[in-house]
């Protein structure tokens, strides 16, 4: 079953890939932002963290496929990437099960993309759900 990709998915994906400045966050290889894929640690079907920037990284195709084939390594890498506190907070937001406000998310990510393209960016590892 395919998950529908809507304009918010595309916006968030572009933000995550541009945030990485074209580099795969796992292997460090440069692919340009269009050559990367936005990868979720906790699957997209979990709506409470689907658009949470802490749940998303930019990966090249090879690393993305590798993690899908090696879920234990995926979990270990994500824990190391986020740090224990941010990892635990992401898991707590997942368990809350609340759907975030899609309109607010659209505004947030448009602002983030604008700031990124202007040279300034506000990010934290606590995730967006705590700020909206």
pLDDT at 88 over 80: yes
Is a pLDDT exceeding 70 seen at residue 12?
A: yes
Q: Strand runs (DSSP E) across the chain, as ranges?
A: 37-40, 56-59
Q: pLDDT value at position 120?
A: 62
At 125, is the pLDDT very low, low, confident or very high (cuts 50, 70, 90)?
very low
Phi-psi region of 97 (alpha: psi -120 to 50; beta: other; left: phi over 0): left
- Interval 61-78 mean pLDDT: 97
2: confidence class by pLDDT, cuts 50, 70, 90: low
Look at residue 123 and tell me whether its pLDDT is greater than 60. Answer: no
With CA atoms as reference, report the closest residue to 90 among 130, 63, 60: 130
Measured CA to CA, the distance from residue 64 to residue 66 in angstroms comes to 5
Average pLDDT over residues 36-55: 95
For residue 103, pLDDT beyond 60: yes
Q: Helix, strand, coil proportions of the chain in percent (round to 5)?
A: 55, 10, 40
Q: How far apart are CA 71 and CA 90, in angstroms?
A: 17
Model's pTM, two decimal places?
Answer: 0.84
Cβ atoms < 10 Å from Cβ of 50: 22
């Amino acid at each position: 079953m395919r998950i529908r990709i809507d304009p918010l998915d595309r916006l968030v994906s572009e933000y995550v890939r541009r945030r990485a400045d074209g580099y795969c966050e796992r292997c460090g290889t440069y692919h340009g932002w269009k050559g990367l894929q936005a990868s979720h640690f906790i699957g997209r079907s979990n709506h409470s963290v689907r658009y949470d920037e802490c749940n998303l990284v930019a990966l090249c195709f090879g690393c993305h496929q590798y993690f899908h084939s090696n879920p234990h390594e995926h979990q270990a890498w994500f824990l190391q990437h986020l740090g224990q506190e941010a990892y635990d907070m992401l898991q707590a937001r997942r368990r809350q099960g609340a759907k975030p406000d899609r309109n607010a998310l659209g505004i947030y990510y448009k602002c983030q993309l604008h700031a990124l393209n202007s040279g300034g960016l506000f990010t934290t590892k606590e995730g967006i759900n705590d700020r909206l």
